[in-house]
Amino acid sequence: MMPKNIEKNIKKLRELFDEETIDAYIVPHEDEFLTEYVPNHSERLSFITGFTGSAGLTIITKNKAVIFVDGRYTTQVKLETSDKIFDYQDLNNTNIENWIKKNIEQQSQIGFCSMTISFDKLTSFKKFVSNTKITFKKTDNLIDKIWLKRPNQRNGLIYEHKSKFSGVSHKEKKQLIIKEIIKEDCDSLFISEPENNCWFLNIRGDDLEFTPLVRSYSLVQKNGEINLFSDHEITNSIKEYFKENNIRHFSINKIEEFFKNRNFKKTIFDFKTTPFELANIIFKYSDDFKNLSNPCNLLKACKNKTEIEGAIKAHIRDGVALTKFLFWLDSKSENNKLNEIDVEEKLLDLRKNEENFISPSFNTIAGAGSNGAIVHYKANEASCKKLKAGDLLLVDSGGQYLDGTTDVTRTIILFPKEQKIQKEKKDRFTRVLKGHIAIACSVFKKGTIGKDLDPFARKYLIEEGLDYKHGTGHGVGSFLGVHEGPQSISPLGFQEIKEGMIISNEPGYYKEDEYGIRIENLILTKEMNDDSNHLYFKTLTLAPIDKNLISTEILNDDEIKWIDTYHDKVYKNLSEFMQEKELVWLRKSCEPILQ
């Protein structure tokens, strides 16, 4: 349901058009750091549309409006916004181009904030209208002008991410980055991504609720000097850490002055992740530039030995919490009148008991019945459903631990002793599980990209004319972003899958207005012991899969063996942490499925 003030907010925005001499305005979800997740004071897209998802863009003209969202949000956007105000489109360049050409008149000017859109994206938009008389005009951020009760900006503490968790010191990482700068015959590298700054500098922060980022930019020079730009207060311990590592700290508004005074010969930066405004500062003050993907991306994605060991340990602890939750839920009945928010709170309480736990890694998704069909659902007082026997409950959750980040989804049939399970739900669940197993068992040549693996996960759904509108897998950080690039398993996964990458394995199926199914484990990419030219996946996540929902008649022997072997591993790793009744339940949950 769209908030009542959205129409007023849009009216206020349009009232600024004449003053700014524009005819339309673009509002992306991203803020000045172009990240997927933003703090409350940067939720500009939500303020102007009511849509709360983590990916989207709106264009508002004097008499029309459109929202572009990706496949994860096609249901959610219609629930949160009004089709009397907004047109709905899939988020891709072709649709954006077509909508602009069809709905915006010649001679029009489209306003944009140059800090919340990348150089690459704006360049694409300009190409869309290159054969028209439509132009783009830089403005101040107009949403900030009308958002009178905007939450205060939260700049939390910066703290060191110790080498016992990171595995590699900042000084060692710096040598790797300087080698890349010299190899490209450049003298500097501008890092626009906060997650790369955190990885590179071995720092973390609490600017965001669920991701330990320091919202920042940095400039690395080939002489070893590092300049960090952020608006944080720096504690004495971090001042000392920065001094030891030749890291200088400036406020963000000093970036232009810094470049003006340095006269760099050639600066590396990434057009896709650098705000248009900052890209133009580099163009203005550096003699030359090189548009390259940040070298931190792959170095960060391929986890080192310490990070892998930490991830394994974090997944055991997280598995303990999730398994205790599954036992707790199975011990309840419909008469307990539990709801989706109770599920969130119980999971958080159990994770808080685990060593090195800092926070959830994202808003827990606990969708019962039809809410499970909303891919990135978030329960609130208005939408929260009670748990009913026979409904499916989709629970997608995770934790940020000092030694690793987790992300796991289990779909559960609620109170199966009280209600017969529908055959269709079991069939769909088992087809999703077959796709999950196909990815988990993949062995593939080095050089394989995520796009090549994605069809294996969808095969058994497609046989029935079914599919899902999200990727099969995303990269995951090490006490960093739960969504981390550049790796993915999806139709758009063009990055080579490399040893050490951690990726989610999460096929799903969603029947709108009825139920949703997703089965998600995190997997680690490893080299085959007897064949250095091939890679395989090791499953990290440890928690029982609901056997009540499995139709064994459509599984083959290898798939049955995988399920039994996985459950044996779950039992062996988690049993020592269970209380007596929990242990009995875990043993039964992990028994061979044909027993």
Q: Strand, helix or coil at 418?
A: coil
The pLDDT value recorded for residue 594 is 87
Among 446, 499, 127, 122, smallest CA distance to 274 is for 122
Task: Please say whether the beta carbons of 393 and 387 come within 8 A.
Answer: yes
Per-position b or e across 204-223, b if 16+ CB within 10 A of its CB: bbbbbebbbbbbbbbbbbbe
Name the amino acid, one letter, at 253.
N
Task: Please say whether the beta carbons of 205 and 214 come within 8 A.
Answer: yes
CA distance 421 to 404: 36
The tokens for 136 are: 């783009």
The pLDDT value recorded for residue 2 is 54
Task: Please say whether the beta carbons of 210 and 362 come within 8 A.
Answer: yes
Among 461, 526, 529, smallest CA distance to 497 is for 526
Distance (Å) of CA 122 to CA 95, 100, 139, 326: 15, 13, 14, 47
- In whole angstroms, what separates CA 416 from the centre of its chain? 33
The tokens for 570 are: 């779950």
The pLDDT value recorded for residue 35 is 92
Task: Please say whether the beta carbons of 111 and 26 come within 8 A.
Answer: yes
Q: Strand, helix or coil at 241?
A: helix
Residue 268's DSSP bridge partners are 189, 290
N-terminal to C-terminal alpha carbon distance within the chain: 47
Task: Please say whether the beta carbons of 568 and 590 come within 8 A.
Answer: yes
Among 445, 478, 163, 472, smallest CA distance to 301 is for 478
Domains, the chain, with CATH or none: 6-146 (3.40.350.10), 158-299 (3.40.350.10), 302-589 (3.90.230.10)
CA distance 36 to 582: 38
CA distance 165 to 148: 42
Per-residue pLDDT of the chain (595 residues; tens, 9 = 90+): 556 699 999 999 999 999 999 999 999 999 999 999 999 999 999 999 999 999 999 999 999 999 999 989 999 999 999 999 999 999 999 999 999 999 999 999 999 999 999 999 999 999 999 999 999 999 999 999 999 999 988 788 999 999 999 999 999 999 999 999 999 999 999 999 999 999 999 999 999 999 999 999 999 999 999 999 999 999 999 999 999 999 999 999 999 999 999 989 999 999 999 999 999 999 999 999 999 999 999 999 999 999 999 999 999 999 999 999 999 999 999 999 999 999 999 999 999 999 999 999 999 999 999 999 999 999 999 999 999 999 999 999 999 999 999 999 999 999 988 788 899 999 999 999 999 999 999 999 999 999 999 999 999 999 999 999 999 999 999 999 999 999 999 999 999 999 999 999 999 999 999 999 999 999 999 999 888 899 999 999 999 999 999 999 999 999 999 999 999 999 999 999 999 999 999 999 999 998 7
The tokens for 237 are: 């311990």
CA distance 91 to 416: 39
Which spans in 251-304 are helix H?
255-262, 276-285, 296-301
CA distance 35 to 275: 11
The pLDDT value recorded for residue 278 is 98
CA distance 343 to 366: 7
CA distance 140 to 577: 55
